Structure 1
C-alpha cells in the first residue's frame, strides 16, 4: 500500500482511510460506543502497536490436545489445548505490512494458562467487499475467514465469519460447511467497570464450540 502521493508507506506514516475496522464500517462507525471507537481506531500510524492486558473469565477449547491433530493442515498458533477460568491474557495489535496482501492489523494473543502460555495469532486485511474484512488465522496463514462487520444496538463492534478458505501456496480452496467454522467476536465496553470487553466463540457444525473466550481488558498505545 502507498500513501497519498504514491510513495511506499513507512513506519510512523498515517494509515490511509484509518484502521481496517473503520474502512469496513464506513459511516456505520459513528454508531459505535465512544470507547469502542477509540479501541477499533487504534493508533492510526504504520508500525504502531496497541497493547491489551486483561483477564478472561473463561478461555480455551474443551477439545484439549485433540486440536493438535489439525496442526499439520493449518499450522501453529491457531488452536489452544487448554480450557480454564480466570485466565490472564495479553494482546499486541500492530499495524504492519502483510507481504503482497497489503497493510493489515496483526494480532498476537497470549493466553496465560496455569500449565503455560499459548498463542493465537491472526491478521485482519481490507476486503474489496463493503462491510467485510479478510481474516487470516494462525502463524502459517493457511486459513482465511471472511468477516462481516456491524454495530450492535449497544454500540459494540460485531465480527461474524461467513465463508472460509484453505490457502495452500497459490491454491485458494473454499472449505465446505462441515470442515469450516463460524466465528463471532463482539468488542464492547462496560460503563460501570470502565473497561473494554470482548466475547468470542468459534463453532464447527459437527463439533460445536472449538474455541471461546470472554473477559475484560485495558489498553495502551506503545
Structure 2
C-alpha cells in the first residue's frame, strides 16, 4: 500500500474492487445489489438515500476517542436512531494504481450533518478499506457472497500516524463485520456494520435501509 495517502485520485472505468477480488462469485449477488458492487462508469456516480435504524454506540466512555475519529470522518460520538443518510460512490484509481471506490456517507445527526469518508480498494487480492481524510484506519477484509448478499469480515486492522502505519495485533484488533443484502419484500438494500473487540464486545455500529442508483453527471443530492 502506498504511503501517499493524500495523493491525487482520478476517476476510472476499470473493474470494481469487488469484481477484482471475487471474480465470477460476484454474479451470485442479488441482481438489485450488483449496481452497488460493480464498476461505476467514469462519467457517473452511485447515489443512495435511506434511514439508519441506529448509529454509534451507547457506551459513552468511548465517545472521547470517537471525537478524535469524527475529525477525520471515520466515526461519530453519538447514539441515535432513525438517522437519515445519503451515500455517494465514485470510481477512482488509488494512490497505488489499483481500482477503488471513494465513498462519502452523510449522516443527518441531531447536531447537524456529518460525513464519513473512505476508499475501498484491492491489495494482494483482498478488499482493503482506507478510512478518514486524511487516512486514519486501514482494514483488510475477507469477502464472500452468501444467499445473494455480500459479507465482509476484517482480517487485519491498522492505524496511521502521519506516514507511519501500525498494524494492531490480532488479539487486540477490532473485528469489523459488514453485511449488504437486498430485501425484496420492502424493495430496499439493507446494510449493517458492527465493530467489536475481544472481551469488550460491540463498540460501534450502524444499520439501516436505502435505495441506490447509478446517476450520470456531477454528484449531487
TM-score range (shorter-chain normalised) is: 0.7 to 0.9
Cα 1:73/1:39, change in 2 over 3 Å: closer
Q: Could you tell me which of 26, 29, 33 is aligned with 2:30? A: 33
What's 2:111 paired with? Answer: 115
Q: CA contact under 8 A between 1:56 and 1:86: conserved in structure 2?
A: yes
Q: CA–CA distance in 1 between the matches of 2:44 and 2:88? A: 10
Q: Which residue of 1 is the match for residue 197 of structure 2?
A: 204
Taking the aligned partners of 1:46 and 1:102, their CA distance within structure 2 comes to 15
Partner in structure 1 of residue 13 of structure 2: 14
Q: Distance in 1 between matches of 2:161 and 2:43?
A: 28
- The residue that corresponds to 1:141 in the other structure is 135
Q: How do 1:11-160 and structure 2 match up within 5 A?
A: 11=11, 14-15=13-14, 18-43=15-40, 45-46=41-42, 48-64=44-60, 66-69=62-65, 76-100=72-96, 102-129=98-125, 132-152=126-146, 154-160=147-153
Superposed CA deviations along residues 181-222 of structure 1, whole A, max 9, x for unmatched, are: 111111110111111111111112244222211111111223
- 1:164 matched to 2:157? The reply is yes
Q: Take 1:61 and 1:181, find their aligned partners in 2: how far apart are those partners?
A: 15
Does the CA contact (< 8 Å) of 2:104 and 2:117 recur in 1?
yes
* 1:191 corresponds to: 184
Aligned 8 A contact 2:106 2:113 in 1: yes
The alpha-carbon deviation at position 38 of structure 1 amounts to: 2.6
The alignment's C-alpha RMSD in Å is 2.4
Q: Give SS of 1:99's match.
A: coil
CA distance in 2: counterparts of 1:59 and 1:140, whole angstroms? 22
Tell me the alpha carbon deviations over residues 76-135 of structure 1, each in whole angstroms, 9 at most, x when there is no partner.
211211111111111111112333454411111111122222222111111213xx2111
Aligned partner of 1:215 in structure 2 is: 208
Name stretches of at least 5 consecutive residues in structure 2 with no aligned partner. Answer: 1-8, 216-221
Contact 2:35 2:214 in 1 (8 A): no
- TM-score by length of structure 2 reads 0.83
Q: Which has the higher contact order (CA 8 A, sep 6+)?
A: 2
Distance 1:74 1:216, change over 3 A: closer
CA contact under 8 A between 1:47 and 1:96: conserved in structure 2? no
1:76 and 1:37, CA in 2 relative to 1: closer, same or farther beyond 3 A? same
Question: Contact 1:75–1:140 (CA<8 Å) still a contact in 2?
Answer: no
Residue 174 of structure 2, aligned match among 171, 176, 181: 181
> What's the TM-score once normalised by structure 1's chain length?
0.82
